[in-house]
Amino acid sequence: MREHKGPFVTISDLSREAGLTVRQVEQLARAGALESLGLDRRQAVWAAGVAATERPGMLPGSSLMQVPALPGMSAFELTAADLAATGITPDGHPVALLREILERWHELPIRTGVRAGQVRGGAPVIPAHRLLEVPDGTRIRVAGVVTHRQRPATAGGVVFFGLEDETGLANVMVTQGLWNRQRKEALSTTLVVIRGIVHNAAGAASVTADHIEPMEPELRAAKTFGAVHQKSRDFR
């Protein structure tokens, strides 16, 4: 709040007075920080690019635009947006909203790619906190948000993933061969299901991956992004 002018009332007002860049305004919009200005996240992101071009000395309102009515975001989309924008999820973890689907992941048909229509089959998805309960050497699936990718120079080409769900963090090893075969999927996805062999005989669990399956295309094809949780924020 500005004591001499009162609270900000538009995105352009905030951007002009604070000297924010387009990227900074878009990040605030994605994090839900502009809802006090009367815009939900989608509307704020839509308006951010133009509004952020206003600068001190410009005529106020020169970038003013009519924001269209846009659909509200589902609980999953809001949680995922929080995680992407701020690194935290104050209203819960996005994977928790997908747990019911993940429990049946191996029974569901594939929605995209050359195997579209076929049932996945194979190993079920195991929550991170249960990896120590699975017999060592079992093929399983784990699912979550990729928190980091590391490729130490001494690891012989192995890439280490941190895969976080609502129960904890799974350590995943991606061999050089799998990385070469699925480099695009390994680099481009944030929400992923990984199939592999669990190792926990030494008292700490890790998974050696043999297949990487991005979840986003499958969820979009199944129209799950908007249906994971029926409650959504209404647009204004």
Instruction: Give pLDDT, residue 229.
Output: 37
Query: Which residues, listed in sequence order, are joined to residue 119 by a DSSP beta bridge?
Result: 109
148 is in which domain, residue-wise?
A: 94-222
Considering the domain boundaries, does residue 58 fall inside one? yes
CA angle (166 as vertex; 129, 95 as ends), nearest 5:
125
For residue 125, count other CB atoms closer than 10 A to its CB.
22
Cβ atoms of 40 and 236 closer than 8 Å: yes
Does the pLDDT value for residue 113 go beyond 90?
no
- Are 116 and 212 members of one domain? yes
- Are 110 and 181 members of one domain? yes
pLDDT in tens, 169-200: 999 999 999 999 999 999 888 889 999 999 99
Considering the domain boundaries, does residue 88 fall inside one? no
Does the pLDDT value for residue 52 go beyond 70?
no
Find the mean pLDDT for residues 92-104: 84
Q: Where does a domain end: 12, 39, 72?
A: 72
Q: Where does a domain end: 42, 72, 102?
A: 72
pLDDT in tens, 21-49: 778 888 888 788 788 887 777 777 777 76
- Are 67 and 101 members of one domain? no
Residues 6+ apart with CB under 8 A from 11: 25, 29, 34, 37, 39, 44, 47, 48, 51, 52
- Are 60 and 98 members of one domain? no
Find the mean pLDDT for residues 73-81: 64
- Are 193 and 98 members of one domain? yes
H-run or E-run covering 99: helix 94-103
Domain with 107 in it: what CATH number? 2.40.50.140
Query: Which residues, listed in sequence order, are joined to residue 125 by a DSSP beta bridge?
Result: 141
Question: How many domains, in total, are found in the chain?
Answer: 2
Instruction: Give pLDDT, residue 130.
Output: 96
Considering the domain boundaries, does residue 82 fall inside one? no
What is the DSSP pairing of strand 159-165 with strand 191-199?
Answer: unpaired
pTM above 0.75, yes or no: no
- Are 64 and 21 members of one domain? yes
Could you list the beta-strand ranges (E) of the chain: 139-150, 159-165, 168-174, 191-199, 206-214
